Structure 1
Amino acid sequence: MGHAAGAEKKLETPRDRHRRLMEVAARLICEKGYEGTSIQDIAAAGGLTKAGLYHHIRSKEHLLLEIMNYGMDVFEEAVLSQVMPIEDPVERLKACMEKNILLVTRGWSKEVTIILHEHTTLTGEARGQINARKKRYVRFLESSFAEAVRDGRIRPVNPKVAAFAFLGMVLWIYKWFRPDGAIGEEELAREMQDLFFGGLEIRRGGARRAGNERKRR
């Protein structure tokens, strides 16, 4: 009986344990801030001694870097790698917005919060590493908006302004979205797409003729 119960209990691998510690640390840092979270806090929440925690991490700052890199890994796999092959720039951007929103609303808000609020805590190479990854995303957005302008798909906007407006809408959802609220995550993604791209896309046919009529008046 005891043997069967023990067999059913899944053993925690070193990788699982490390991942769990990152999740514990991410939760605490979100709640208390990086400076307000001690190594002792993380160790206690993870069921370890302080010395035991240092067996798994190099330092508190390196743990912060790992959390941010993990968040960026998840983002690049769940969002960027999925949308980059889309040929149409507007559809690519719409898909990017949807996937980004769903990522934030489906449990990855801790990592997003830390990347947004704690990146300046990092120093030297660690800060440069995270900033470089963030800049790659911004450049991807700028390039997609510039392509959409060239193709006549959206109004002639500044790609940098459009990219940061996009990010401002998407990345701060975690501040106010509630999973048990009146609006669901998929409806939220559709509404935000309509709001953002409704003001950018060049409408064909009737909408364009109506605009020309207004100009002639």
Structure 2
Amino acid sequence: MKPSAVDNAPPSMRDKILHQTTRLFVERGYDGVSIREIAEACSITKAALYYHFVDKERLLIEILETGLDAFHQLLEDARQNYQSAQTRIRAFVFSLFTRLPPENRAVIRLATQEMGKLQPELRTQFAQHYREKFLQPLMDIFTEGQKAGELRPLSAELAVWALLGMLYPFMSGESALRQEPSPQQLEQLLDIFWIGIASHSR
């Protein structure tokens, strides 16, 4: 599967900065990348970089928020185009790996690993957005599936964290030990998940 961008519009300099910074943060971590290195990766001066972003912290929060918006859009597309909980979750999972490049998927890792680098108010703000735009829509899918008798009555929040826990190892793209999951492997992953959560009466 070759991921494509959710938005195919020509990238602006701001988009280029976000793309290159995301790649660097994913590869080396927030503390492992300097403003100078980000500017060099974008072929611009530090002054030009500061024109778009006042500091590295603002770059990180913008990356997290942009990634969150992309995840939210994939969830909304799945909810609008499919009816059952299982088909919606399947559509969302497959869209993660076909519509988002690996570094964009890895934003979820950045959110868990680098959140502590943000000021408390920014951290609180992003945590609220993370729940509203990502966790809650996922929980709503499971809750609606329970109401329809499709799923067993269990904690929707626990179901979400179980699903994300299974997806988490694949959120950083290819590595020396693991390649991108194939469509068949994604199907198998979802089978493993649903066998434990699908209603036995259906």
What is the TM-score of this pair, normalised by structure 2?
A: 0.79
Retained in 2: the 8 A contact 1:105–1:177? Answer: no
Unaligned runs of 5+ in 1: 1-12, 206-217
Alignment of 1:1-217 (within 5 A): 16-77=12-73, 79-85=74-80, 86-103=82-99, 108-136=104-132, 137-175=134-172, 177=174, 184-203=181-200
Aligned residue identity for 1:96: F
Retained in 2: the 8 A contact 1:102–1:185? Answer: no
Q: CA deviation at 1:189?
A: 2.0
Larger Cα-atom Rg:
1
Q: Aligned-pair RMSD on alpha carbons?
A: 2.8
Aligned residue identity for 1:84: R
Aligned residue identity for 2:78: V
Which structure would you say has the larger RCO, counting Cα contacts within 8 Å and 6 or more residues apart? Answer: 2
Aligned residue pair count: 191
| Cα displacement string for residues 149-187 of structure 1 (whole angstroms, at most 9, x for unaligned residues) | 2332122322221111011112331357569x7775322
Unaligned runs of 5+ in 2: 1-9
Mean alpha-carbon deviation: is it higher for 122-131 or for 153-162? Answer: 122-131
Retained in 2: the 8 A contact 1:104–1:112? Answer: no
CA 1:26–1:119 in structure 2 vs 1: closer, same or farther (change >3 Å)? same
Retained in 1: the 8 A contact 2:26–2:103? Answer: no
| Cα displacement string for residues 105-162 of structure 1 (whole angstroms, at most 9, x for unaligned residues) | 6552343332232122222442233212211221222222223223321223222211
CA distance in 1, matches of 2:175, 2:32: 25
What is the TM-score of this pair, normalised by structure 1?
A: 0.74
Identity of counterpart residues, as a percentage? Answer: 25
